[in-house]
Amino acid sequence: MIYKEVTVIGAGLAGSEAAWQIANAGIAVKLVEMRPLSLTPAHHTGEFAELVCSNSFGALSHDRAAGLLQEELRKFNSLIIKTADKFSVPAGGALAVDRSKFSKYLTDVLTNHPLIEIKRIEQLDIPAIDNITVLATGPLTSEKLANKIRNFTGIDSCHFFDAASPIIYGNTINQEKIFKASRYDKGDPAYFNSPMNENEYLTFRNELINAEQATLKDFEKDSANFFEACLPIEEIARRGIDTMRYGPLKSIGLWNPEWGDLFDRENRLKKRPHAIVQLRQEDLEGKLLNMVGFQTNLKWSEQKRIFRMIPGLEKAEFVRFGVMHRNTFLESPKLLSPTLQFLKRKTLLAAGQITGTEGYAAAAAGGLLAGINASLLIKNKSPVIFPNESMIGALVHFISNKNQIISNRKKNQFQPMPASFGLVPELTSIIKDKKLRYGAYKERSLRVLEEFKKTLDSYFEKDQLLLEFN
Rounded CA separation 252/272 (Å): 8
What local confidence, expressed as pLDDT, does residue 221 receive? 42
CB 196 within 8 A of CB 275: yes
Confidence at residue 467, expressed as pLDDT on a 0 to 100 scale:
46
CATH 3.50.50.60 domain locations along the chain: 5-163+327-464
**Dmax (CA) of the chain:** 76
Rounded-to-integer distance, Cα 186 and Cα 190, Å: 9
**For 104, what's the count of Cα atoms within 13 Å in the CB-facing half-sphere?**
7
Correct CATH for 167-322 of 3.40.50, 2.40.30, 2.60.120, 3.30.2420: 2.40.30
**Eight-class DSSP state of 64:** S
**Residue spans in the chain of domains classed CATH 2.40.30:** 167-322
**What is the mean pLDDT of each successive set of 10 residues along the chain, which is 470 residues long?**
82 97 95 88 84 88 92 96 95 90 97 96 92 92 89 80 84 94 81 96 96 65 53 92 95 92 86 94 86 91 96 94 81 94 96 92 97 95 96 95 58 73 91 91 96 91 49
Q: What is the pLDDT of residue 282?
A: 87
What was the pLDDT predicted at 86?
A: 97
CA gap 207, 298 in Å, rounded: 11
The residue among 37, 125, 109, 10 whose CA lies nearest residue 367 is: 10
- Rounded distance between C-alpha atoms, residue 9 and residue 350, angstroms: 10
Among 290, 285, 289, 162, CA closest to 232: 162
* CATH code given to domain 5-163+327-464: 3.50.50.60
pLDDT (0 to 100) of residue 45: 87
